[in-house]
Amino acid sequence: MMNPFLLPLDREELLKRLSARGAPHGGMMPGTMKPPAAPPDPQAVWQSLRPTNNQTLVIYVHIPFCISRCSFCGFYRNRTDDAAIEEYVKRLLVEIDRVADEGAFTKKPVEVVYFGGGTPTALTADQLRRTVGRLHERFNIAPDCEFTIEGRLFAFDDDRVRACLESGVNRFSFGVQSFETELRRSLGRRLSREDTLARLARIKEICGDRIALVADLIYGLPGQTQEDWMERNVKTVHLESALDGVDLYSLKVFPGSPIAKRVQEEGNWSEEDRLARHAEASDYLAAQGWKQLSTTHWGRNALERNLYNTYAKIGVDMVPFGCGAGGFIGDWSIMQEGDLAKYIELVDAGLKPIGMVMQSPPARRDSIRFTRMTDLGYFDPTEIPETDFSPIIDNWTQAGVWTPMVGASVPLACGRAGRASLPVYRLTRLGEFYQAKLNSLLTGFHMAAHASALDKIKMATAGIAGKLKGQS
């Protein structure tokens, strides 16, 4: 039987394979995602959870309000409303106090705190002080904790900036998305290019080196030219912005989002064009001395560590707070109630406002072992010693998704420098672009190698079914 984990060497076929949604055996074994017979009781599970030994502890706080809906976004929930936000913040503080009173997560140092959303920068200066301050009072926030507030530059005034700075925030992550005024407006962003850059400079002026300034940028937006992506965005980051870090994303179109219709009507950049622009932008930042911290993330200096993004992908313990927050503790994933009214009801009823808990399938643990490497841009077969990867190693090298590095350093923040004899495989720009798919295939290969004869028959059947559906 043909090895389903081999990659086509023909370029067109290769891109078709790597860009296809899902893949036969891509990370999940048949049967591993079956829901349990009776759903577990979220409150009982929550009460039983304790920090995992030798695992980093992260706190995630969700602020589910936005000034307006951005056209590309699949996460919009509630429009900003002063009274509603104040009611929400009161419940958030109750939830923080209650978890702190329970005591299970208060002793271990918290190495990362992340306020995401939504738009945490929509909180007033006083609300920011109260929530950030309460976490510092009630939890053991480590001295070098990466403490991020995510949000938008619009309306994030000097008072709010100072409130964050004075209450213990050390990182801002802004969804800039583009520095092109017209494009920004088409996305639902209000500030012009000039105002965006001026605001970043002003925040840097207030905070100096005590806060890392980080932004997301998206390429492949409808109406964006490839030249403008490089000249008015990537180069702007280095030459004109006060940013310490940047994440460069290829546009993901969420079905039902306002931008989905535009993409359907106007078309989009080709796969080859996206790939070429990912490579060009990455090569440019590397040449300017920026450090690559993941396959998509770059830091200008040591201020930017990108810890939250890295930890979120590798499934460390993450205690969730707020409406719609997600977390993990050990093998359990926790999804907090996403409906604002129900969230408030649960908090007022004295409960941890959890909507659902789910025990992770073994495939998740396996997938995370690979993500630890591929998100940092490398693959080291010796980290998974129980599996022989030789049936795919050379084929993947020939396909161009990675290159062997013997006795050389892998130039990412992965600490794999200086190995003398065994090759570490460094993802190429092509491999970085398709990191998620490669991760899924590696996980699938590993699981297939350890599958029982019965599982192998099931997987073969799933593969044939996939082909019949035209997915392979």
- Minimum distance from residue 152 beta carbon to ligand SF4 (Å): 6
Backbone angles phi, psi at 112, to 5 degrees: -145, 135
CB-nearer residue toward ligand SF4: 70 or 246? 70
- Minimum distance from residue 357 beta carbon to ligand SF4 (Å): 24
- Minimum distance from residue 45 beta carbon to ligand SF4 (Å): 28
Cα-based distances in Å from 255 to 42, 187, 252, 265: 30, 16, 9, 14
Beta-strand runs (E) in 273-392 = 291-292, 297-299, 317-321, 326-329, 332-336, 354-359, 378-379
CA–CA distance, 419 with 344 (Å, rounded to integer): 53
Q: Which stretch binds ligand SF4 (CB under 6 A): 9-17, 70-78, 90-98, 449-457?
A: 70-78
Does 156 bind ligand SF4 (CB under 6 A)? Our answer is: no
CB-nearer residue toward ligand SF4: 71 or 192? 71
C-beta separation of 437 from 23 below 8 A: yes
Tokens 């290019």 sit on residue:
193
Q: Which stretch binds ligand SF4 (CB under 6 A): 11-19, 65-73, 124-132, 367-375?
A: 65-73
CB-nearer residue toward ligand SF4: 17 or 297? 297
- Minimum distance from residue 323 beta carbon to ligand SF4 (Å): 13
Query: By rule CB under 6 A, what string of x and - marks binding of each residue 390-419 to ligand SF4?
Result: ------------------------------
What is the 8-class DSSP label of residue 290?
Answer: P
Q: Which stretch binds ligand SF4 (CB under 6 A): 43-51, 111-119, 192-200, 452-460?
A: 111-119
Exactly one of 6, 14, 45, 75 binds ligand SF4 (CB under 6 A); that residue is 75
Cα-based distances in Å from 3 to 392, 445, 448, 462, 464: 9, 9, 11, 14, 13
Omega before 415 cis (within 30°)?
A: no
CA–CA distance, 278 with 296 (Å, rounded to integer): 9
CA–CA distance, 48 with 207 (Å, rounded to integer): 41
Tokens 């300017």 sit on residue:
288
Residue 30: partners with Cβ closer than 8 Å, 6 or more residues away? 455, 458, 459, 461, 462
CB-nearer residue toward ligand SF4: 68 or 106? 68
Does 259 bind ligand SF4 (CB under 6 A)? Our answer is: no
CB-nearer residue toward ligand SF4: 325 or 442? 325
Q: Concatenated DSSP letters for 196-242? A: HHHHHHHHHHHHGGGSEEEEEEEES-TT--HHHHIIIIIHHHHHT--
Exactly one of 7, 15, 61, 66 binds ligand SF4 (CB under 6 A); that residue is 66
- Minimum distance from residue 131 beta carbon to ligand SF4 (Å): 18
CB-nearer residue toward ligand SF4: 62 or 277? 62
| Letter string b/e over residues 87-105, b meaning 16 or more CB atoms within 10 A of that residue's CB | ebbebbbebbebbbeeebb
Cα-based distances in Å from 200 to 68, 135, 167, 308: 21, 26, 20, 21
Q: Which of residues 116-155 bind ligand SF4 (CB under 6 A)?
A: 117-119, 152
Angle between helical axes of 362-374 and 435-449 (0-180°, round to 10): 130
Exactly one of 5, 46, 60, 76 binds ligand SF4 (CB under 6 A); that residue is 76
Does 73 bind ligand SF4 (CB under 6 A)? Our answer is: yes
Query: By rule CB under 6 A, what string of x and - marks binding of each residue 175-194 to ligand SF4?
Result: x-------------------
CB-nearer residue toward ligand SF4: 66 or 285? 66
# binding residues, ligand SF4 (CB under 6 A): 11
- Minimum distance from residue 252 beta carbon to ligand SF4 (Å): 12
Q: Concatenated DSSP letters for 114-157? A: EEEES-GGGS-HHHHHHHHHHHHHHS-EEEEEEEEEEE-STT--
Q: Which stretch binds ligand SF4 (CB under 6 A): 69-77, 286-294, 367-375, 378-386?
A: 69-77
Tokens 């503080």 sit on residue:
93
CB-nearer residue toward ligand SF4: 184 or 416? 184
Q: Which stretch binds ligand SF4 (CB under 6 A): 66-74, 222-230, 301-309, 359-367?
A: 66-74
Residues engaged in binding ligand SF4 (CB under 6 A): 66, 69-70, 73, 75-76, 117-119, 152, 175
